[in-house]
Amino acid sequence: MKLSENAIKVLEKRYLSKDENGNLLEDVEGMFRRVAKEIASADEKYTHKAGLVEIEEQFYEMMTSLEFLPNSPTLMNAGRPLGQLSACFVLPVEDTMEGIFETIKNAALIHKSGGGTGFSFSRLRPKGSAVNSTGGVASGPISFMKVFNAATEAVKQGGTRRGANMGILRVDHPDILEFISCKKDNSEITNFNISVGITEDFMKAVEYNLEYELIDPKTKKPVGKLNAKQVFDIIVEMAWKNGEPGIIFLDRLNRDNVTPELGEIESTNPCGEQPLLPYEACNLGSVNLYSMLDAEKNSLDFDKLGLTVKKAVHFLDNVIEVNKYPLKEIDEMTRGTRKIGLGVMGWADILCALGIPYDSQRAIELAGTVMEFIQKNAQKASEELARQKGVFPYYEQSIYAKKGIRIRNATTTTIAPTGTLSLIAGVSSGIEPVFAISYIRNVMDNNELIEVNPVFKKAALEGNFYSDELMKKIAESGTLKHIEEIPEEVRKVFVTAHDVRPEWHVKMQAAFQKYTDNAVSKTVNLSHEATTDDVREVFTFAYRAQCKGVTIYRDGSRDMQVLNIGKVQ
């Protein structure tokens, strides 16, 4: 297998089985074999032994060729005692002491296994409301979020990876102003991403500069009013300050809720790409688009992509079967709707290889073509599975029953961030532009190593302009923008996240969203000099472009920034 040193390091640290002394019990191929075998075993009921071996081989090859990878918990836990394979969960937060602490316990169990949790705190009574049983006053959603945060912090060390949460509050909750500013200080509530749940009514009120009502979730009565535009401006200012909160459009999540009779969608998973019902989980997987490049024809191999999508849907559907869910309620919901989320990674890399600039109309059009193709093929594959294995158990309560479409999975497509998966596959993450063309990494003994984007390296070698000095020069800023030694056409194509103007980020997100059942993980990067007006424009544009949510990040606006241009630790 062709894996980078970095990928091997990550896999050894967190993914490969070890004994109690920390000695590795498997190598990377061994891990993929373990996963392929376990996931194929879901077909025991449907096929004979030879068929099972064939399926296992298909899965094994698809992963070892790095054409498809399932989300991290599947790689970590399949075929091992924990057996929890999903990355995404949403848990309900009820307005009772028992309910709140029950959910904290359940979230801890999920984090331990590498899953992330999302919650809406909108049902909690506002700060200062009466508590009947004690005669005291309620401390409100934000103070409880801090308890969730502390629990996550405590579980961090023992788990497979750092627990991640999404916290959502409806914009019409009486404590909304406190929520919007609760991460003003970056060292607070660090284990949460936060998003304001925006409604269409609210957006209309912003447009017409009107007041809107705050509703007490307990009594369902209006308890106050705020000017929508002013609230929007505070959201914008906070996001400008350090990237939080993001916003999600609740009505849109529910417009696309395929099982409305089962309940309302009130939250997503931590990175925002997977809206779920309370107690629902979802397993994700991503096709590596860069590996779909037909180098000879210099085009995307759609036949190969179609086949990979089909196998990937089969794989992800099997995951639901063999998954060990941490709670009875989650088991029931997740097997009931059988949601899966197939997405992509390596998008920017294949654009570069094809010579198409990320910030161009051609790229946006290709995004639509590719994702429409993936969505269609994923649905077709799920319909085929339904013919063989049956529709999902809650099918009768779904929109598909009304349309007469017999399908096995209530949703099939989601664009995940692929933070670790893309590192393992050695490609650009999700649908994000390349972060830096080259950068300096500190390795042991204070030695510096220059990492160069592999697609660029290939182009530079072919174009005869590769040199170590040049790569070092590029690493200083990460971008090719001002490097005149490099041909102009190359500079146009190899653009980085910071070279791409915000509207192109949003256009790309919207292009993928159009053909994605669930949602799209995307960060709109802004330069350090961007103003609050720029942020407002991005939010408004994303709303008009039919995105389901939007997250921005202004360069240098957090003390702790995971990726730094120039130097990465």
Binding site for ligand CDP (CB under 6 A): 71-72, 87-88, 115-116, 161-162, 164, 269-271, 273, 284, 416-421
Give, to the nearest 10 degrees, the angle between helix 140-155 and helix 97-112. 30
CB 305 within 8 A of CB 369: no
CB distance 445 to 374 below 8 Å: no
- Nearest-Å Rg of the Cα atoms of the chain is 23
Minimum distance of ligand CDP from residue 431's CB (angstroms): 12
By C-beta, is 70 or 502 nearer to ligand CDP? 70
Choice between 282 and 471, CB closer to ligand CDP: 282
Residue written as token pair 């941490």? 326
**Which residue in the shown chain puts its C-beta closest to ligand CDP?**
116
Report the C-alpha gap between 66 and 422 in whole angstroms.
10
- Residues 485 and 495: their CA atoms lie apart, in Å, by 16
| Cβ-based burial of 285 (10 A; exposed 0-12, middle 13-18, buried ≥19) | buried
Q: Is 273 a catalytic residue?
A: yes
Distance in Å from the first CA to the final CA of the chain: 26
Q: How far is the CB of 281 from ligand CDP (least distance, A)?
A: 10
Among residues 423, 451, 479, the alpha carbon closest in space to that of 568 is found at 451
Q: Are 141 and 173 in contact (CB under 8 A)?
A: yes
Active-site option among 269, 283, 318, 323: 269
Which residue's CB is nearer to ligand CDP, number 276 or number 407?
Answer: 276
CB of 71 or CB of 84, closer to ligand CDP: 71
Q: Tell me: cis bond preceding 245? Omega within 30 of 0 counts.
A: yes
- Identify which of 464, 460, 462, 463 has the alpha carbon closest to the alpha carbon of residue 437: 460
β-pair partners for 283: 340
Give the 3-state secondary structure of residue 397. Answer: helix
The CA distance from 486 to 493, in Å, is: 11
CB of 300 to ligand CDP, least distance (A): 22
322 CB contacts (<8 Å, ≥6 apart)? 38, 39, 41, 42, 78, 83, 85
Q: How far is the CB of 419 from ligand CDP (least distance, A)?
A: 3
Q: Which residues contact 39 (CB under 8 A, 6 or more apart)?
A: 59, 70, 74, 78, 315, 318, 319, 322
Alpha carbons within 13 angstroms on the beta-carbon side of residue 188 total 15
Least distance to ligand CDP, CB of residue 193, Å: 9
3-state SS, residue 520: strand
Q: Which of 214, 136, 130, 211 is nearest to 170 (CA)?
A: 214
- Give the residue with the Cβ less far from ligand CDP, 38 or 383: 38
List 71, 182, 193, 271, catalytic entry: 271
Query: Residue 312, by phi and psi: left (phi above 0), alpha (psi -120 to 50) or beta?
Result: alpha
Among candidate residues 273, 280, 383, 432, the one labeled active-site is: 273
> Considering beta carbons, is residue 206 or 421 the nearer one to ligand CDP?
421
Q: Which is nearer to ligand CDP, 397 or 414 (CB)?
A: 414
Residue nearer to ligand CDP on the CB measure, 114 or 174 = 114
> Between residues 77 and 418, which has the closer beta carbon with respect to ligand CDP?
418
Does residue 547 carry a catalytic annotation?
A: no
Check if 352 is active-site.
Answer: no
User: Residue 144's CB: how many other CB atoms inside 10 A?
Assistant: 21
Q: How far apart are CA 196 and CA 205, in angstroms?
A: 16
Q: Which residues are catalytic?
A: 269, 271, 273
